[in-house]
Structure 1
Amino acid sequence: MSTFQPIRIHLTDQAAERLKKFLGENALACAVRIGVCRSGCAGYSYKMQVTQEPVSSEEWVVEVKGIRLLIPKEFARWLDGLEIDYGRSGVNESFRFRNPHAKALCGCGESFSFE
């Protein structure tokens, strides 16, 4: 069952282009699942996965710039207002996340906390 929820997720043009490229590389892919997992020295990190699995009843569907994002309901309050960017820093390219609910970042920038 697909349930659309007004969760605000913002994608920069660069992030949207990159996600569209990932989706285009897999003809069966239909969405990008975004979640949070326990990781790193600050406690949590983001995880993103291109998926061809159907929407679960435990997820909200958010469409941004033509990309279907699947957000687990258990993380919706933490991800509401999330901005996802994609860019280069030196020789590395990566997604960058700006979350108004994150209270602290670790020194290397790979994890964050909500407390």
Structure 2
Amino acid sequence: MSEDIEVVPVTIDVTDDAMTAMAGAMGGAEDGDVLVVSVLGGGCSGFMYDLQIQSRPDDDGWQFISCDGITIAVHDKDSKQLSGITLDFVNSLMGGGFKVINPNAQKACSCGKSFR
């Protein structure tokens, strides 16, 4: 029994700091690897962002965005929640990490990793 999902074209902005961090992280990746950005249930606000480097998915239902030689993949099921996001990379006293700025989120945690 399949569930109908609303699929929208995905656009993602990437800051210069995030681009530098992605290039560093992808430096040891295999040819054909992509950065998968997805939404998982959980976190303090209901949903969490998940970023993983993995082999390019070859099944249907994926959208691919090319960004300075790096491919970002988003599954159609996450397209409505992720279209229009900005990926940033921030350094702080507690360490650095990717931060997602999401205009679609009704509420976001200050950590930048959880939203509703």
After superposing on structure 2, the runs of 4+ consecutive aligned residues of structure 1 that deviate more than 6 Å are none
Q: Which of 27, 38, 42 does residue 41 from structure 2 map onto?
A: 38
In angstroms, what is the RMSD of aligned CA positions? 1.9
Asked if the contact 1:37/1:45 (under 8 Å) is kept, the reply is yes
Shift in CA distance, 109/19, structure 1 to aligned 2, threshold 3 Å:
closer
Percent of aligned positions that are identical:
26
Contact 2:99 2:112 in 1 (8 A): no
CA 1:62/1:14 → structure 2, altered by over 3 Å: closer, same or farther?
Answer: same
TM normalised by structure 2 equals 0.83
TM superposition score normalised by structure 1 = 0.84
Structure 2 residues without counterparts, runs of 5 or longer: 1-7
Q: Deviations over 1:28-54 (max 9, x none)?
A: 452111100001121001001101243
Rounded to whole Å, the distance in 2 between the matches of 1:107 and 1:22 is 24
1:71 to 66, 69, 74: 74
Count of residues in Structure 1 that have an aligned counterpart in Structure 2: 109
C-alpha distance in 1 between matches for 2:105 and 2:90: 21
